[in-house]
Amino acid sequence: MADHCPLHQILRPFGSQVTQWTMGQRMNGHSIAVIGATGAVGRVFLRILEERGFAAGSVRLCGKNSVGRTMSVNGRDITVEEVTPELLSQVDFAFISATTEVSREIGPLAVQQGALVIDDSSAFRMDADVPLVVPEVNAEDLLEHRGIVSIPNCSTTPLVMVLKPLNDVNPVQRVIADTYQSVSGTGAAAVEEMKTQSRDVLDGRVAKPHVYPHQIAFNALPHIDDFQDNGYSNEEMKMVRETRKILHLPDLPVSATCVRVPVAVGHSEAVHIELSHPMSPEDVREILGAAPGVTVLDDPKAAVYPMPIDAEGKDDVFVGRIRRDLSHPNGITAWIVSDNLRKGAGLNAIQIAEEVVKRGLLMTDRRKA
Ligand SMILES: NC(=O)c1ccc[n+]([C@@H]2O[C@H](COP(=O)([O-])OP(=O)(O)OC[C@H]3O[C@@H](n4cnc5c(N)ncnc54)[C@H](OP(=O)(O)O)[C@@H]3O)[C@@H](O)[C@H]2O)c1
């Protein structure tokens, strides 16, 4: 494996000597393309890549409006390029973090060119032959990949991180989740909109909405993505369907209300979980405290509970306000917070790549097998 390759060791971290192979062939050390490198997720993704020292032999950055611009990765300047079939033929991994339309166009093309696609969009999540993966929950689903692996919606990921360890000991019967989602979940332009509107309101000017249908500053919008005929938004239905798929519980009753709030980074969720048997809040704290990637922060009387401003920049999913649901004998209520750009997107994508490498599941590995 490339992790043991001497060349890779020389190149690690990837910015130390050489940032890009110029020859048109794959080399050991995992070449990657980041499509959407300049976006809210893309920028955090690159930071996490550096932090984790992911085994990248070469990094190619791709965009649309920012083609020609340079970005610093590990102290090296890399020029943003257009996505081309040739570029895709030179990489092991294509991380796509742009738009659903871009994913639909580039994803299959990248697979054709021999790259493994890790896709942040909703384009392929519900496709039967595309694993939808949170490594702490269902890493074994990667064995079934056919070139594309999807990451879930940024509210689904923290929810399944909490549901899985509980479900393992006390099967989950029903879930209600109400979200308080930050503007960075919409992308870089929405963060700017919230800042501009906040200044406008404080200075007595009219706040003009562009990204959202209404003012987001000092407001809450029960509206994320388009609405369906059943009265739920696409975002809410993503939480329903994706939770079922990841947990392999196709009939699990799930209901969600997704709300956009004027928070920059970090999605919060109030969840009501009906289990098969009664369970004490102490037992829930113990189970979740032992779960990988989950941190329990739960001492409300001392004002200790998860908050987005604390979760920003952290990898874990934080859980607190764990208590009995007074409306159901088997019910537990909790408050979940996580950084939507990290565990909700970039970190999960890199953890998938790490798992793929560990299990020898790259397209090139498969061809050799
Ligand atoms: N934000 C979140 O919390 C989150 C969480 C999970 C999943 N996601 C998903 O991740 C994806 C990116 O979200 P984001 O929030 O980072 O959006 P964003 O801030 O709006 O960034 C969009 C990125 O896509 C690039 N792009 C647009 N059209 C392109 C094209 N034709 N070819 C190549 N690159 C193109 C843009 O590049 P230029 O700047 O060069 O135009 C930009 O880098 C979306 O699919 C989103 O649903 C987001």
Entry pTM: 0.92
Per-residue pLDDT, 368? 54
Q: Domain 2-152+345-368 sits in which CATH superfamily?
A: NAD(P)-binding Rossmann-like Domain (3.40.50.720)
Is there a catalytic annotation at residue 5?
no
Residues 71-97 have a mean pLDDT of: 95
CB distance 63 to ligand 1 below 6 Å? yes
Name the region of 307 (left: φ>0; alpha: ψ -120 to 50; beta: rest).
Answer: beta
273: Cβ contacts below 8 Å, ≥ 6 apart: 162, 163, 166, 172, 174, 175, 325, 331, 332, 333, 334
User: Are 2-152+345-368 and 156-182+220-339 the same fold in CATH?
Assistant: no
Our CA angle for 101, 207, 267, nearest 5°, is 55
- Determine the distance from the C-alpha atom of residue 87 to the mean position of all C-alpha atoms in its chain, rounded to a whole number: 25
> Domain boundaries in the chain?
2-152+345-368, 156-182+220-339
- Tens of pLDDT, residue by residue over 284-337, are 999 999 999 999 999 999 999 999 999 999 999 999 999 999 999 999 999 999
Q: State the SS3 of 60-75.
A: EEECCCCCCCEEEECC
Question: Average model confidence (pLDDT) for the chain?
Answer: 91
CATH number for the domain formed by residue range(s) 156-182+220-339 = 3.30.360.10
- 154, 248, 272, 277: the catalytic one is 154
Asked whether 337 and 267 are in contact (CB, 8 A), the reply is yes
CB distance 38 to ligand 1 below 6 Å? yes
Percent of the chain beyond pLDDT 70?
Answer: 91
- Tens of pLDDT, residue by residue over 34-73, are 999 999 999 999 999 999 988 667 999 999 999 999 999 9
Determine the 3-state secondary structure of 141 from DSSP: helix
- 8, 30, 145, 267: the catalytic one is 267
Per-residue pLDDT, 139? 98
Asked whether 71 and 57 are in contact (CB, 8 A), the reply is no
From CA 239, how far away is CA 256, in angstroms rounded? 7
- Tens of pLDDT, residue by residue over 15-38, are 222 223 222 334 457 899 999 999
Q: Is the pLDDT of residue 84 over 90?
A: yes
CB distance 36 to ligand 1 below 6 Å? yes
From CA 153, how far away is CA 316, in angstroms rounded? 16
Is there a catalytic annotation at residue 62?
no
Residue with tokens 């829930």: 284
